[in-house]
Structure 1
Amino acid sequence: MNETNLVEISHLSKTYKDTIALYDINLHIPQGKIIGLLGPNGSGKSTLIKILVGLLRQYQGEVLICRHKPSLYTKEITAYLPDRNILNPRMNALQCIKYFSDFFADFDESKAKQMCENLRISLESHLKSLSKGTIEKLHLILALAREAKLYILDEPIAGVDPYSREKVFELIKKYVPKHSSVILATHLVNDVQPILDDVIFLYEGRVLHYESVQSLVSAYENLQAAFKAEVGRLDSMADSINGEWK
């Protein structure tokens, strides 16, 4: 394993009964990068994330995070933001911060409180009184307040209004340590373009492309146009192969 790579994935495949969720995935995630895992719903993003964070253990191939298979150790160095609310609605923001502080040794309470102030989330606000977007922002704060080596963010801006997205991106840039990396999964391709260093295009369980944003936007109008071009190229190859078999 290259010492500068946080994650190395080799020939990873995952099948649910007769459905192929991931097929022969090969990826190397280096240190110090914000990487977009981009693709439509059903492309395999959530399956890949669940394998990385140890929620799915049955798969083919090899997955290493800092040279370790997904395990208790990798959970200690990985901050995970799920795509759904896991917080107790009876708690207020401060109680959530205290809970995470007790649970994670690398959690920084002062950093979490700073981010709450930045996003104007009252520490006394009970979750049941907060909007879905505000709860999502609090989830993100709780993930970013850890001193992790790898941050995995699953749809962190799906319920956040466009104005607040800029604030969210600012927090990610400010609070993620420089030698750590972020895997940011979303179907909102163009929305996350300004924050990303590299992008992974995932489609129907396959990696279509893995390249720097700078390189892609020099060739295409934006990331969405690049993604459509890659899907079009894949469909053309499939049509050509099918034609040869007729």
Structure 2
Amino acid sequence: MQTVIKIKDLCKKYKKRYILKDINLEIEKGVITGILGQNGSGKSTLMKIISGIEKPESGEILINGAEPGISTKSQVAFLTENNQLYDWMNINDAIKFHQDFFEDFDAQKCGKLIDFMDLSENYKIKKLSKGMLQRLRLSLTLGRNASVYLLDEPFMGIDTITRDKIIKAINSYYCEDSCILITTHLISEVERILDRVAFISDGNIALTGDCEQLRYEKNQSIEDMYRKLYV
């Protein structure tokens, strides 16, 4: 498979504390990878570095052979933890906003996702529940024809039905010419769609590999491995 993201000896620190230390990871095309760990383990920091929002202290990161920057930002669709939509918008306004902002945005694809998510384009952003807003934000993110999709804690604080909808959308609508990275500590909901995992603990990768192979070798579910590492 083609390597989309290559990370070598990557380190990041805030003040004198290392948030990430000696991270080595390769992400291949067509693969959904779970970046798993507890809150504060460095998951979100890694996503921000891949997106180009933050820079590492040392080490190397390449996205399709290029360092994160202006050229790679057009290849990366990033669903952050924070809502960046305006209250005055309705869903149709949000679609137009993304269409104007991102050259790779596919309004037709996004429209299908919004229908799948049981949303309507005339809904006002300020009147959406947290779960509805998260479904919209995921639709807008997956509506891009990006090379890399970064989904940072997409299941945080939402109900089980919404989680199930989001998981089905991720599995059904992402392009197999791309790759997806999902950060989460809610393993049971997402395990069934993951191809690979990387467990981060105290800024280091504690375990990584193909999900099926890890389940076979350890005779455990990914959730059980998580519990053994962190609980």
Per the TM superposition, whether the score is higher than 0.5 is: yes
Match of 2:71 in 1: 73
In structure 2, stretches of 5+ residues that fail to align are none
CA RMSD between the two structures? 1.4
Q: TM-score, normalised by structure 2?
A: 0.95
Match of 2:112 in 1: 114
Mapping 1:83-94, distance limit 5 Å: 83-94=81-92
Match of 1:129 in 2: 127
Q: Is the 8 A contact 2:29 2:179 kept in 1?
A: yes
Mapping 1:1-246, distance limit 5 Å: 4-218=2-216, 219-231=218-230
Distance 1:165 1:195 in 2: 13
Amino acid paired to 2:222: L
Distance 1:204 1:147 in 2: 34
CA shift, 1:173, in A, is 1.9
CA shift, 1:180, in A, is 0.8
Distance 1:62 1:214 in 2: 29
Distance 1:213 1:167 in 2: 22
Q: Is the 8 A contact 2:10 2:56 kept in 1?
A: no
Q: Is the 8 A contact 1:53 1:80 kept in 2?
A: yes
Amino acid paired to 1:145: G
Secondary structure of 1:63's counterpart equals strand
Q: Is the 8 A contact 1:208 1:231 kept in 2?
A: no
After superposing the two structures, state which structure 1 stretch, 154-163 or 206-215, moved more: 154-163
Q: Is the 8 A contact 1:216 1:226 kept in 2?
A: no
Distance 1:122 1:104 in 2: 22
Q: Which has the larger radius of gyration?
A: 1
Distance 1:4 1:216 in 2: 22
CA shift, 1:224, in A, is 2.3
Secondary structure of 2:199's counterpart equals strand
Distance 2:80 2:65 in 1: 23
Q: Is the 8 A contact 2:131 2:158 kept in 1?
A: yes
Residue-by-residue CA offset, 1:219-244 (whole Å, 9 max, x unaligned): 24321211233458xxxxxxxxxxxx
Distance 1:230 1:41 in 2: 14
Question: Which consecutive aligned stretches of 4+ in structure 1 deviate over 4 angstroms post-superposition?
Answer: none
Q: How many residues align?
A: 230
CA shift, 1:165, in A, is 1.9
Structure 2 CA distance for partners of 1:58 and 1:36, relative to 1, 3 Å: closer
Q: Is the 8 A contact 2:91 2:123 kept in 1?
A: yes
Secondary structure of 2:74's counterpart equals helix
Distance 2:159 2:82 in 1: 17
Distance 1:87 1:122 in 2: 16
Identical positions, percent: 37
Residue-by-residue CA offset, 1:89-142 (whole Å, 9 max, x unaligned): 110111000000011111111111111111111211111101111111111000
